[in-house]
Amino acid sequence: MLRGKCPRCRTGNIYPSTLKGWLGWMHDSCPSCGLRFLRETGYFLGAMYISYGLGVLTILPVAIVLAVVVEWPLWAVLTVAMIQTVVFMPLFFRYSRIIWLHMDQVIDPR
Protein backbone atom coordinates (compact mmCIF):
# COMPACT_ATOMS: atom_id res chain seq x y z
CA MET A 1 0.00 0.00 0.00
CA LEU A 2 2.76 2.45 0.89
CA ARG A 3 4.38 2.04 -2.54
CA GLY A 4 1.10 2.71 -4.39
CA LYS A 5 0.91 -0.62 -6.17
CA CYS A 6 -2.13 -2.41 -7.56
CA PRO A 7 -4.13 -4.24 -4.86
CA ARG A 8 -4.49 -7.38 -6.99
CA CYS A 9 -1.07 -8.00 -8.58
CA ARG A 10 1.02 -5.66 -6.40
CA THR A 11 3.31 -4.82 -9.33
CA GLY A 12 1.52 -2.15 -11.41
CA ASN A 13 1.49 1.45 -10.24
CA ILE A 14 -1.85 3.06 -9.36
CA TYR A 15 -0.49 6.55 -10.05
CA PRO A 16 1.99 7.54 -12.76
CA SER A 17 5.41 8.49 -11.43
CA THR A 18 5.23 11.92 -13.09
CA LEU A 19 3.93 15.24 -11.75
CA LYS A 20 0.54 14.28 -13.17
CA GLY A 21 0.35 11.47 -10.61
CA TRP A 22 0.98 13.85 -7.72
CA LEU A 23 -1.78 16.14 -8.96
CA GLY A 24 -4.35 13.38 -8.58
CA TRP A 25 -4.40 11.75 -12.02
CA MET A 26 -4.36 8.00 -11.68
CA HIS A 27 -4.28 5.19 -14.20
CA ASP A 28 -7.71 3.98 -15.35
CA SER A 29 -6.56 0.40 -14.93
CA CYS A 30 -3.49 -1.46 -13.72
CA PRO A 31 -0.70 -1.48 -16.32
CA SER A 32 0.22 -5.05 -15.30
CA CYS A 33 -2.98 -7.03 -14.66
CA GLY A 34 -5.68 -4.75 -16.10
CA LEU A 35 -7.71 -4.28 -12.89
CA ARG A 36 -10.03 -1.29 -13.37
CA PHE A 37 -9.44 1.21 -10.58
CA LEU A 38 -12.47 3.42 -11.23
CA ARG A 39 -15.37 0.97 -11.19
CA GLU A 40 -18.29 3.41 -11.25
CA THR A 41 -19.23 7.04 -10.75
CA GLY A 42 -18.76 7.98 -7.10
CA TYR A 43 -16.57 4.95 -6.40
CA PHE A 44 -14.03 6.98 -4.42
CA LEU A 45 -16.62 8.64 -2.18
CA GLY A 46 -15.51 6.40 0.69
CA ALA A 47 -11.94 7.58 0.20
CA MET A 48 -13.09 11.01 1.39
CA TYR A 49 -13.77 9.54 4.83
CA ILE A 50 -10.30 8.02 4.89
CA SER A 51 -8.79 11.38 3.87
CA TYR A 52 -10.74 13.09 6.65
CA GLY A 53 -9.48 10.54 9.17
CA LEU A 54 -5.89 10.99 8.04
CA GLY A 55 -6.27 14.74 8.41
CA VAL A 56 -7.71 14.49 11.91
CA LEU A 57 -5.05 12.00 13.02
CA THR A 58 -2.20 14.24 11.87
CA ILE A 59 -3.46 17.80 12.35
CA LEU A 60 -5.48 17.58 15.57
CA PRO A 61 -2.65 16.31 17.83
CA VAL A 62 -0.35 19.13 16.71
CA ALA A 63 -3.09 21.70 17.31
CA ILE A 64 -3.82 20.30 20.78
CA VAL A 65 -0.15 20.35 21.76
CA LEU A 66 0.27 23.92 20.50
CA ALA A 67 -2.89 25.13 22.25
CA VAL A 68 -2.64 23.27 25.56
CA VAL A 69 1.04 22.55 26.17
CA VAL A 70 2.75 25.47 24.43
CA GLU A 71 -0.23 27.81 25.06
CA TRP A 72 -0.15 29.55 21.68
CA PRO A 73 -3.00 31.94 20.86
CA LEU A 74 -5.91 30.52 18.88
CA TRP A 75 -5.07 32.43 15.69
CA ALA A 76 -1.55 30.94 15.64
CA VAL A 77 -2.82 27.40 16.22
CA LEU A 78 -5.38 27.78 13.43
CA THR A 79 -2.72 29.18 11.09
CA VAL A 80 -0.46 26.18 11.70
CA ALA A 81 -3.43 23.82 11.19
CA MET A 82 -4.31 25.51 7.89
CA ILE A 83 -0.73 25.31 6.65
CA GLN A 84 -0.59 21.62 7.63
CA THR A 85 -3.83 20.99 5.76
CA VAL A 86 -2.64 22.68 2.57
CA VAL A 87 0.72 20.89 2.65
CA PHE A 88 -0.58 17.41 3.46
CA MET A 89 -3.80 17.41 1.41
CA PRO A 90 -2.24 16.13 -1.87
CA LEU A 91 -0.63 13.28 0.06
CA PHE A 92 -3.89 12.48 1.89
CA PHE A 93 -5.83 12.56 -1.39
CA ARG A 94 -3.44 10.14 -3.02
CA TYR A 95 -3.14 7.66 -0.15
CA SER A 96 -6.82 7.71 0.77
CA ARG A 97 -7.60 6.41 -2.72
CA ILE A 98 -4.87 3.78 -2.45
CA ILE A 99 -6.18 2.62 0.94
CA TRP A 100 -9.75 2.56 -0.44
CA LEU A 101 -8.69 0.41 -3.41
CA HIS A 102 -6.87 -2.05 -1.14
CA MET A 103 -9.80 -2.25 1.31
CA ASP A 104 -12.23 -2.85 -1.56
CA GLN A 105 -10.02 -5.58 -3.00
CA VAL A 106 -10.04 -7.38 0.37
CA ILE A 107 -13.82 -7.07 0.74
CA ASP A 108 -14.85 -7.64 -2.90
CA PRO A 109 -12.04 -9.20 -4.97
CA ARG A 110 -12.55 -9.23 -8.73
Residues 6+ apart with CB under 8 A from 43: none
pLDDT at 21 over 60: no
At residue 109, the pLDDT reads 81
Residue 69 has φ and ψ, to the nearest 5°, of -80, -50
At residue 82, the pLDDT reads 96
Q: How far apart are the C-alpha atoms of 25 and 20, rounded to whole Å?
A: 6
Q: How confident is the model at residue 23 (pLDDT cuts 50, 70, 90)?
A: low
At residue 6, the pLDDT reads 92
Convert 4-22 to b/e letters by CB count within 10 Å (16 or more is b).
bbbbbeeebbbbeeeeebe
Q: How confident is the model at residue 3 (pLDDT cuts 50, 70, 90)?
A: confident
pLDDT at 24 over 70: no
Residue 50 has φ and ψ, to the nearest 5°, of -65, -45
What is the tens place of the pLDDT at every residue in 53-108?
999 999 999 999 999 999 999 999 999 999 999 999 888 988 999 999 999 999 98
Output the CA–CA distances (angstroms, integers) from residue 67 to 35, 77, 87, in the order listed. Answer: 46, 6, 20
